[in-house]
Amino acid sequence: MNNRMKNYMKEHAFSLCLLGTSLLFYLFFAWYDGVVICADSASYINMSVTREAFYPSLLAISRFLFGEGDLYLFMIVLLQSVVAAVSAWILEEYLRKEMAVPKWMSVCLLAFPLMVSLLCRFAALRSSMYSNSIMTEGLAVALFLIVIREVLEFLLYQTRRSLFLASALSALLITTRKQMYVTLALIALAILTVAFFNKSNAKQWGRTIIKVAIVSALILLSSMVYDRAYNYLVRGEAAGHSSDNRFVLTMVFYTAEEADADYIEDPEIRQLFLDIYHTCKESGFLGQSAGEGWYNEVTHFGDNYDFIQIDTMWPMIHDYVDEKNPEWADVPNSIDRETETDRISKVMIDAILPHDYPRILHALFNNFLSGLVTTVAQRKPILILYSILAYLGYLGVLAYNLKVNKLSKTNIFAILTLVAIVVNVGVVSAVIFCQTRYTLYNMPLFYMAGLLMLLELYRTKGVKNGLV
């Protein structure tokens, strides 16, 4: 080892120690638990036409390199574990340097993403972490932290590098799971926020709007091109992603009433709607079977969402399509079959949704509150009270710090985290129930930002009292 390397190791010993700890943590569980196959894993492995393109193609590349055995899945788990470890470390390092965090607090900052993974492994009784599960969360949860890091840097310094990296990761994440449209929203809001605080004039605002449009278009175009290229290579047809509207249709069924069928003009689709509706109603899946009160309503919605969509609605629509078009039924992952399924779903949505807004808004509001809870804790009665206190404490410390320190780096990070929570929970609430799987993206950020605000509060009080 030459002197330059020795000096580098000495200068960065603490940082390298944290990186090593993070890698050992995730790689240990990759070895200990091995590859974990979940309910959704088969659809990614089999390259289902209903799944976003990137993750199945990543599995296919690994299968091509390492063969059909178990090794190729374990290599994916190793990759996800390294990405999770490095992402947590990168965000911690950025916060430590930008906010002059002491070493003991750097350890705490790194610990939060790791502890969230442990909660998934033990408290949530999943018997695995997402980093060693064959699921899109294995990559998306980790890469989301990097997007936040780049968006924060853009807010602080308006660097082109950070905007480019955030946008590139956003395109990748959207092609991994559609929930990650959240990252596109955060990037657009960051660009607009910078323009607002720079006190842009009318001409500059025009350029900002164009910038937002161009960045958004490039992200969406990249995702669209990848989807079509993937389907062309796998299925011989340059088709886009399918089945996105099934989430909205599930919400429509959950909140629907029998009389809503009258809004559907096509008599066959109207009868299909009624068949699905009656099957769900008799099984107690619909909102009208929920108990009284917010907790009972959101619990019922979460418990029955998959029963409506996966066990009832989607199979019955597929059976209807197969009966009308038997030539598609025997074609694995038929794009024609899914395109027709999407069309029928759209007919139902377009007919009923405009008349169902009051009930849907009620379910969305309940779901939104549930998502705020599951972002910081589990949705259990005692933890709901904790969640309320946690948010009140967070907002209280932020308000005080804003009053004293204005838009400090810590406060900007804390606000960015709040916006990310609201945007993510809002997107998820509109289409699916807010289980922790969909809201934990911001869980480590909430506690990291809270800890940093407490440090800033301590420093502010210390300076005022002559202690710092």
pLDDT tens digits, one per residue of 400-436: 999 999 999 999 999 999 999 999 999 999 888 888 8
Look at residues 103, 135, 167 and tell me which one is the last residue of a structural domain: 135
257 & 197 share domain: no
pLDDT score of 468: 44
Integer-rounded Cα radius of gyration of the chain: 24
> In terms of residue numbers, what domain contains 82?
11-135
- The Cα–Cα gap between 468 and 237 comes to 65
In a domain, residue 390? The reply is: yes
In a domain, residue 141? The reply is: no
173 & 207 share domain: yes
- Do the beta carbons of residue 116 and residue 444 sit within 8 Å? yes
Give me the residues of the chain with pLDDT under 70, please.
1-11, 124-127, 462-468
3 state DSSP class of 102: coil
3 state DSSP class of 314: helix
377 & 337 share domain: no
- The amino acid at residue 73 is L
In a domain, residue 123? The reply is: yes
- The amino acid at residue 121 is R
Q: How far is CA 398 from the centre of its chain?
A: 25
15 & 131 share domain: yes
Report the candidate in 119, 140, 139 with the shortest Cα–Cα distance to residue 129: 119
In a domain, residue 240? The reply is: no
pLDDT score of 157: 95
pLDDT score of 5: 65
pLDDT score of 4: 65
229 & 257 share domain: no
15 & 124 share domain: yes
Report the candidate in 325, 326, 316 with the shortest Cα–Cα distance to residue 348: 316
19 & 119 share domain: yes
- Do the beta carbons of residue 313 and residue 250 sit within 8 Å? yes
57 & 114 share domain: yes
pLDDT score of 3: 62
CA angle 42, 47, 52 (to 5 degrees): 105
Q: How many domains does the chain have?
A: 4
pLDDT score of 319: 92
> What is the end-to-end Cα distance of the chain in Å, rounded?
41
pTM value is 0.93
Look at residues 206, 235, 264 and tell me which one is the last residue of a structural domain: 235
In a domain, residue 6? The reply is: no
CA torsion 455-456-460-465 (nearest 10°) is: 0
Look at residues 135, 160, 179 and tell me which one is the last residue of a structural domain: 135
In the structure encoding, which two tokens stand for residue 41, read together?
Answer: 């894993």
Distance (Å) of CA 228 to CA 48, 233, 333, 341, 460: 14, 9, 15, 19, 54
310 & 286 share domain: yes
- The amino acid at residue 25 is F
What phi and psi values does residue 190 have, to the nearest 5 degrees?
A: -65, -40
Tens-digit pLDDT profile for residues 290-341? 988 999 999 999 899 999 999 999 999 999 999 988 888 777 778 888 889 9
pLDDT score of 235: 83
In the structure encoding, which two tokens stand for residue 99, read together?
Answer: 């906010």
- The residues near 15 (Cβ < 8 Å, ≥ 6 apart) are 93
pLDDT score of 127: 65
375 & 341 share domain: no
- Do the beta carbons of residue 356 and residue 349 sit within 8 Å? no
325 & 268 share domain: yes
Report the candidate in 408, 421, 309, 390 with the shortest Cα–Cα distance to residue 50: 309
- For CA atoms 313, 315, 316, 318, the dihedral sign is positive
- The residues near 286 (Cβ < 8 Å, ≥ 6 apart) are 253, 254, 255, 256, 277, 280, 304, 308
3 state DSSP class of 28: helix
Tell me the residue length of the chain: 468
91 & 18 share domain: yes
DSSP codes joined into one string, 233-292: HHHSS------TTHHHHHHHHHH--GGGGGG--SHHHHHHHHHHHHHHHHTT-SGGGS-S
- The residues near 46 (Cβ < 8 Å, ≥ 6 apart) are 333
